[in-house]
Structure 1
Amino acid sequence: MRAFTTLDEISAAVGEDLGTSDWLLVDQARVDAFAEATGDHQWIHVDVERSAAGPFGGTIAHGYLTLSLVPYLGSQVFELQTPGAKLNYGVNKVRFPTPLRVGSRIRAHVSVAGVTDLPMGKQMTLKYLIEIEGADKPACVAETVVLLLP
Structure 2
Amino acid sequence: MATLQEIADWYQERAGRHCGHSDWFEITQQDVNAFADLTRDRQEIHVDPVRAADGPYGAPVAHGFMVLSLITFLTDSLLDLEWSEVGLNQRLDRVRFRAPAVVGCRVRAGVTVVGARTRPRDYLELVLSIAIETEDGAVVCTAEQTRLYRAMPDAALPRFPVLEEEPAPDAHV
TM-score normalised per structure 1:
0.87
Q: Which residue of 1 aligns with 2:128?
A: 126
Q: Distance in 2 between matches of 1:83 and 1:96?
A: 31
Q: Which residue of 2 aligns with 1:22?
A: 23
| 1:123–1:145 contact (8 Å) kept in structure 2 | yes
| 1:7–1:82 contact (8 Å) kept in structure 2 | no
Deviation at 1:119, TM superposition (A): 3.7
| 1:6–1:81 contact (8 Å) kept in structure 2 | no
Q: Distance in 1 between matches of 2:131 and 2:99?
A: 12
Q: Which residue of 2 aligns with 1:110?
A: 111
Q: Distance in 1 between matches of 2:55 and 2:62?
A: 14
Amino acid at match of 1:112: V
TM-score normalised per structure 2:
0.76
Q: Which residue of 1 aligns with 2:41?
A: 40
| 2:11–2:115 contact (8 Å) kept in structure 1 | no
In structure 2, the gaps of 5 or more residues are 1-5, 152-173
Q: CA RMSD in A?
A: 1.8
Alignment CA distance shift 1:46-1:83 (3 Å): closer
Q: Structure 1, residues 111-142: CA drift from partner, whole Å, max 9, x if none?
A: 1012234344332110111011114x301001
How do 1:1-150 and structure 2 match up within 5 A?
6-120=7-121, 121-135=123-137, 137-150=138-151
Residue 91 of structure 2 aligns to a residue in which SS?
Answer: strand
| 1:6–1:83 contact (8 Å) kept in structure 2 | no
In structure 1, the gaps of 5 or more residues are none
Alignment CA distance shift 1:29-1:6 (3 Å): same
| 2:8–2:117 contact (8 Å) kept in structure 1 | no
Q: Which residue of 1 aligns with 2:165?
A: none
* Pairs aligned (count): 145
Percent identical among aligned pairs is 37
Residue 36 of structure 1 aligns to a residue in which SS?
Answer: helix
| 2:8–2:116 contact (8 Å) kept in structure 1 | no
Q: Distance in 1 between matches of 2:24 and 2:85?
A: 31
